[in-house]
């Protein structure tokens, strides 16, 4: 049996059948018991009424044994062998003396106060004239047939009710099974489509329960897979483009030198060397990205002074900043603690951020590197007064090879397009986070937060 819908139908049907059978059994037993109690009470009331009428007619209990019609009634008495006249009942006068023996009480016996209290008083005009003792539940002579007919009708009604309940349960089971399995069927079909390479799949979210959450999670997974595929294709195209440019330059100049078209001057050799270095940087950045995504980027952590790292970064980029007419400085607090980090990797992160800021900061601009402690975290920032980033580009600045506003890229930019992606990977490898805040024409600030271990 491989169909989940059939399993659910049979499960619902089995539960309904068991429940209906139990209800029918208990209802039948309860009905029979209550009907027996009811007929016994009715019969006892008729006996009391007949005895009261007898006493009203004769004024005493003389010859009561032969003057009533219920002699011979049976019942479960106090003693199985103690049935006297009257069978399942005994009658005493108002003083407690037995005037009609039965159920273990012989005639003329005197009842105790407890026995009198357990009996049923027979009253006439508000006065107790006798006490009826019943050994069990009284049954009329025709009560057995009446009870059997009544119970038969009740059982027939229960059988019809059980049949109708089973039919309704079967209908509901089929409906519920279809309702529950339809989302799973849709998910199965969509999953098979994804397995065949059609990643852009979306199923209908039909409820807010666990199945609805599963459908939402599948839709999110499908969207993420499709987005990752698009990014991978774009990255492949970008890598091919970035590799082709320096290779074309190197091949063109090498062939021109070989054919004698270009003279082997230091300038022409420098062009080839410069493009080869650019190619080498791109390959190195790709290797770092691949190691970071695989969780295998090596980090050699040791206690490091943040102020020294910031100053080291400023010294490395000071010549370029002076050449562009950009002010580059450090602002830190003197009481910053040392952090357990890989200083070389962190300098690489700060260097990428400063290089990025220098590309988009005009002359007479400023780039400020800051460090401060906020609660249990250390926050680093690189703030510039450059052209800023548009709101559309802001969410994508850490994407690999992302190209937003093309006008923001200067001619001759030798960056690989992986610097910010590498910075993010290294920061996350230190259990930190990195983000950017910017407004067009109002500058950009990159923030890094690291745990103050």
pLDDT confidence of residue 397: 85
User: How far is 108 from 95, CA to CA, in rounded Å?
Assistant: 11
Measure the N-to-C terminal CA separation of the chain; round to a whole number of Å.
58
Over residues 145-190, the pLDDT tens digits come to: 666 777 778 778 878 887 888 788 788 777 877 777 777 788 888 8
Same fold, 210-293 and 302-451: no
Contact 250, 275 (CB under 8 A): yes
Counting residues of the chain whose pLDDT is more than 90, the rounded percentage is 19
pLDDT confidence of residue 329: 92
DSSP H or E segment with residue 403: none
Q: How many CB atoms sit inside 10 A of residue 345's CB?
A: 22
Contact 102, 85 (CB under 8 A): yes
Instruction: Return the residue matching tokens 């039919």.
Output: 167
Of 436, 430, 427, 432, which Cα lies nearest the Cα of 393? 436
* Strongest mean pLDDT among 77-81, 145-149, 256-260, 354-358: 354-358
- Confidence tier at 409 by pLDDT (50, 70, 90): very low
Q: How many CB atoms sit inside 10 A of residue 444's CB?
A: 25
Residue 421 vs residues 25, 70, 152, 349, 389: alpha-carbon distances, Å = 73, 105, 83, 10, 16
Q: How many CB atoms sit inside 10 A of residue 321's CB?
A: 20
Contact 183, 160 (CB under 8 A): no
pLDDT confidence of residue 241: 73
pLDDT confidence of residue 3: 66
Q: Is the pLDDT of residue 411 over 50?
A: no
Over residues 18-41, the pLDDT tens digits come to: 777 777 777 777 877 777 777 778
User: How far is 170 from 93, CA to CA, in rounded Å?
Assistant: 64
Q: Is the pLDDT of residue 5 over 70?
A: no
Over residues 253-275, the pLDDT tens digits come to: 888 888 888 888 888 888 888 88
Determine whether 71 is exposed, middle or buried from the number of CB atoms within 10 Å of its CB (0-12, 13-18, 19+).
middle
Mean pLDDT in the chain? 81
CA 295 vs. chain centroid, Å, equals: 29
Q: What is the CATH number of domain 210-293?
A: 1.10.287.130
DSSP H or E segment with residue 150: helix 143-195
**Per DSSP, what are the bridge partners of residue 89?**
134
- Confidence tier at 336 by pLDDT (50, 70, 90): confident
Residue 294 vs residues 134, 222, 238, 280, 287: alpha-carbon distances, Å = 91, 22, 21, 21, 11
Listed range (29-38, 192-201, 242-251, 293-302) with the worst mean pLDDT: 29-38
- Between residues 384 and 1, the one the model is more confident about: 384
Instruction: Return the residue matching tokens 């910031």.
Output: 310
DSSP H or E segment with residue 349: helix 343-360
The CA dihedral of 148, 152, 154, 160, to the nearest 10 degrees, is 170
User: How far is 355 from 352, CA to CA, in rounded Å?
Assistant: 5
- Between residues 25 and 369, the one the model is more confident about: 369
Contact 89, 133 (CB under 8 A): yes
DSSP H or E segment with residue 94: none
User: How far is 338 from 322, CA to CA, in rounded Å?
Assistant: 30
pLDDT confidence of residue 84: 37
DSSP H or E segment with residue 301: none
User: How far is 328 from 330, CA to CA, in rounded Å?
Assistant: 7
User: How far is 21 from 162, CA to CA, in rounded Å?
Assistant: 7
Sheet holding 127-134, edge to edge: 98-100, 89-93, 127-134, 120-124
Determine whether 75 is exposed, middle or buried from the number of CB atoms within 10 Å of its CB (0-12, 13-18, 19+).
buried
Contact 391, 437 (CB under 8 A): no
Q: Is the pLDDT of residue 405 over 60?
A: no
Residue 340 vs residues 83, 305, 370, 378, 434: alpha-carbon distances, Å = 102, 9, 18, 12, 17
Counting residues of the chain whose pLDDT is more than 70, the rounded percentage is 88
**Per DSSP, what are the bridge partners of residue 331?**
370
pLDDT confidence of residue 406: 47
Over residues 423-450, the pLDDT tens digits come to: 898 998 889 999 999 988 889 999 999 9
Specify the DSSP class assigned to residue 209. S
Of 279, 405, 300, 399, which Cα lies nearest the Cα of 347? 300
* 3-class DSSP state of 239: helix
CATH (one of 3.30.565.10, 3.40.190.10, 3.40.640.10, 3.40.50.300) for 302-451: 3.30.565.10
Determine whether 309 is exposed, middle or buried from the number of CB atoms within 10 Å of its CB (0-12, 13-18, 19+).
buried
Where do the structural domains in the chain lie, given as residue ranges?
Answer: 1-194, 210-293, 302-451
């Amino acid at each position: 049996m491989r169909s989940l819908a059939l399993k659910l139908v049979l499960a619902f049907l089995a539960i309904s059948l068991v429940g209906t059978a139990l209800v029918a059994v208990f209802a039948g037993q309860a009905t029979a018991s209550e009907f027996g109690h009811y007929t016994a009470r009715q019969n006892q009331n008729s006996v009391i009424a007949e005895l009261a009428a007898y006493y009203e007619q004769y004024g005493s209990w003389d010859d009561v044994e032969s003057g009533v019609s219920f002699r011979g009634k049976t019942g479960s008495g106090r003693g199985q062998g103690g049935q006297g006249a009257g069978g399942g009942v005994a009658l005493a006068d108002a003083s407690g003396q037995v005037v009609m023996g039965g159920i273990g009480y012989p005639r003329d016996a005197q009842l105790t106060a407890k026995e009198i209290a357990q009996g049923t008083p027979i009253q006439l005009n508000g006065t107790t004239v006798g006490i009826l003792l019943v050994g069990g539940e009284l049954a009329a002579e025709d009560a057995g047939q009446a009870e059997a007919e009544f119970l038969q009708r009740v059982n027939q009604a229960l059988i019809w009710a059980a049949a109708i309940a089973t039919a309704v349960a079967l209908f509901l089971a089929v409906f519920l099974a279809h309702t529950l399995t339809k989302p799973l069927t849709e998910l199965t079909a969509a999953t098979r489509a994804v397995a065949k390479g059609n990643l852009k799949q979306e199923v209908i979210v039909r409820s807010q329960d666990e199945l609805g959450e599963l459908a939402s999670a599948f839709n999110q997974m499908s969207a993420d897979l499709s987005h990752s595929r698009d990014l991978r294709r774009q990255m492949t195209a970008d890598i091919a483009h970035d590799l082709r440019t320096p290779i074309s330059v190197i091949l063109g100049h090498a062939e021109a030198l070989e054919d004698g078209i270009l003279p082997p001057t230091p300038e022409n050799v420098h062009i080839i060397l410069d493009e080869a270095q650019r190619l080498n940087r791109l390959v190195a950045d790709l290797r770092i990205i691949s190691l970071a995504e695989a969780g295998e980027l090596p980090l050699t952590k040791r206690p490091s002074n943040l102020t020294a790292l910031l100053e080291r970064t400023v010294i490395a980029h000071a010549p370029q900043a002076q050449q562009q007419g950009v002010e580059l400085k450090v602002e830190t607090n003197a009481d910053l603690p040392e952090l357990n980090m890989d200083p070389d990797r962190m300098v690489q992160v700060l260097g990428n951020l400063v290089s990025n800021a220098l590309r988009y900061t005009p002359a007479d601009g400023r780039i400020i590197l800051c460090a401060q402690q906020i609660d249990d975290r250390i926050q680093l920032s690189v703030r510039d007064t450059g052209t800023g980033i548009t709101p559309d580009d802001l969410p994508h600045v850490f994407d690999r090879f992302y190209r937003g506003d093309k006008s923001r890229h200067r001619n001759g930019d030798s960056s690989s397009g992986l610097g910010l992606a590498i910075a993010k990977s290294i920061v996350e490898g230190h259990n930190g986070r990195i983000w950017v805040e910017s407004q067009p024409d109002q500058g950009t600030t990159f923030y890094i937060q690291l745990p103050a271990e």
